[in-house]
Amino acid sequence: MIGSLCKAIVLGASLTGLLGAVAARAQEARTAIGTGSTTLLLHSTTDIEIIRPTLERFTALNPDLRIEYEQWGSNDLYANSLEACAGDEPVADAVFSSAVHQMVSLVNAGCAAQHRSAFTEALPPARRWRNELWGITEEPAVIAYNKAFFAEAEVPRDRFALLDLLRTRPDALRGRIATYDIEASGLGYLFAYSDSLEATTFGALLEGFSRTEAIATCCSAEIIEGVAEGRYLLAYHVLGSYVEAGARPEVGLILPEDYTLFLSRGFMIPKGAPQAAAARRLLDYLLSPDGQARLSEAGLIFPQDATETGLLPSARRFIALAPSLLVALDQHRIRQFSALFASAFRPSEHP
């Protein structure tokens, strides 16, 4: 079943619609940063504590502004943004999401305002689209592992080594490998879709995950905590920024040497944003040398030097902000992926 579904996904399907909105939507957390008289409402998928120092620096430089920060799950944020675009929900001043295929969809639906500056013009083409969507960060999809379980020689440095591990130690790994639940996580779905386009090992890996009863779960924090505690021994395709931000000495990080996906979180200023001018100031700050340095300190911009990362430039696969990402939102493709992952992964028993 997995092999035939995988082949259908890789062959692709025509674009038939956008991802359906989920039934219940709400922000996961909310906080205020700064004390200015003008409030900028920022909807984001980024963990508040990771980006807080960068935003505190911005409000210190712009004391007239106060940021109302709402943290959302990616699917809920996408659905809320579509409703706001249609006039059925209040419009945020800025939207910042890791699920960039959904962001491209919002821009394509006419939900974004334009902005041009020296900072946006300096971005490479893969990190900007139509002067309406901009990639702010550079973060890898990594393999995380429990250091106490793996001897250094056993650590799988690429997908072929991971396949060997799944074949030779299935009992030890049974129920102790984790990845994102692609139905709950727009980012998880994007990584899975991108993997299916890049990897000749995609189908074999899913077969291996199925044999070892791998777990599909909600979010980066739960996965990383599980690896640190030994509840999971290995996690596939989690954001490296969250692994580093967690600063758990029990957790090791691998940039797969065959290829590593890199993501740039997308920033959009919605049409009709009440404080669009403030949102443009925030965007330009995040792209400025000071803003990029702060994001780098937060782990949201990964080093590019191969001597530092051990990853050759040819192994970096950047997920470009481009119309091609709309194919990932084809409803037929989404249904295929859902069936595929349901047959390969067990749902987590942990909240």
324: nearest Cα among 69, 12, 58:
12
257: nearest Cα among 316, 211, 196:
316
User: Would you state the structure tokens that stand for residue 334, as one six-digit string?
Assistant: 């989404």
pLDDT of 239 above 70: yes
pLDDT of 311 above 90: no
29-138+264-309 CATH, one of 3.40.50.620, 3.40.190.10, 3.10.129.10, 3.40.50.2300: 3.40.190.10
Q: Where are the domains of the chain?
A: 2-13+139-262+330-347, 29-138+264-309
pLDDT at 310: 76
pLDDT at 290: 98
In this structure, of 3-7, 11-15, 201-205, 216-220, the range with the lowest mean pLDDT score is: 11-15
**Phi-psi category of 347—alpha, beta or left, where left has phi over 0 and alpha has psi -120 to 50?**
beta
What DSSP state is assigned to residue 29? Answer: E
Contact 149, 198 (CB under 8 A): no
* Structure confidence by residue, pLDDT tens digits, 49-103: 999 999 999 999 999 999 999 999 999 999 999 999 999 999 999 999 999 999 9
How many CA atoms lie within 13 Å of 323's alpha carbon, on the beta-carbon side?
Answer: 4
Confidence tier at 245 by pLDDT (50, 70, 90): confident
The neighbouring-strand residues paired with 128 are 134
Distance CA 42, CA 276 (A): 11
pLDDT of 14 above 50: no
Tell me, yes or no, if the two domains 2-13+139-262+330-347 and 29-138+264-309 fold the same way.
Answer: yes
H-helix segments, 36-185: 48-61, 74-85, 100-108, 118-121, 159-168, 170-173
Distance CA 190, CA 113 (A): 24
Burial 57-72 (b: 16+ CB within 10 A, else e): bbbeebeebbbbbbbb
pLDDT of 27 above 70: no
Mean pLDDT of the chain: 89
Q: Is 6 exposed, middle or buried (0-12, 13-18, 19+ CB in 10 A)?
A: buried
pLDDT at 318: 95
Q: Give the contacts of 261 (CB within 8 A, at least 6 positions apart).
A: 140, 141, 191, 194, 195, 198, 237, 317, 319
Q: How many helices (H) and strands (E) does the chain have?
A: 15, 15
Confidence tier at 307 by pLDDT (50, 70, 90): low
Q: Give the contacts of 228 (CB within 8 A, at least 6 positions apart).
A: 146, 246, 248, 250, 251
Burial 267-284 (b: 16+ CB within 10 A, else e): bbbbbebbbbebbbbbbb
Contact 209, 345 (CB under 8 A): yes
pLDDT at 306: 64
Of 309 and 60, the one with more pLDDT: 60
Report, as an integer, the average pLDDT of 185-209.
91
pLDDT of 254 above 90: yes
Distance CA 24, CA 72 (A): 12
* Structure confidence by residue, pLDDT tens digits, 92-110: 999 999 999 999 999 999 9
What DSSP state is assigned to residue 348? Answer: P
pLDDT at 308: 65
Scan for tokens 């963990």, then name that residue.
Answer: 47
The kind and range of the H/E element at 196 are helix 186-198
CATH of domain 2-13+139-262+330-347: 3.40.190.10
Distance CA 247, CA 252 (A): 10
Crossing angle between the packed helical segments 186-198 and 100-108, to the nearest 10 degrees: 100
pLDDT at 170: 94
The kind and range of the H/E element at 332 are helix 331-344
H-helix segments, 247-330: 276-287, 289-297, 306-309
Q: How far is CA 340 from CA 164, 214, 272, in A?
A: 22, 13, 39
pLDDT of 18 above 70: no
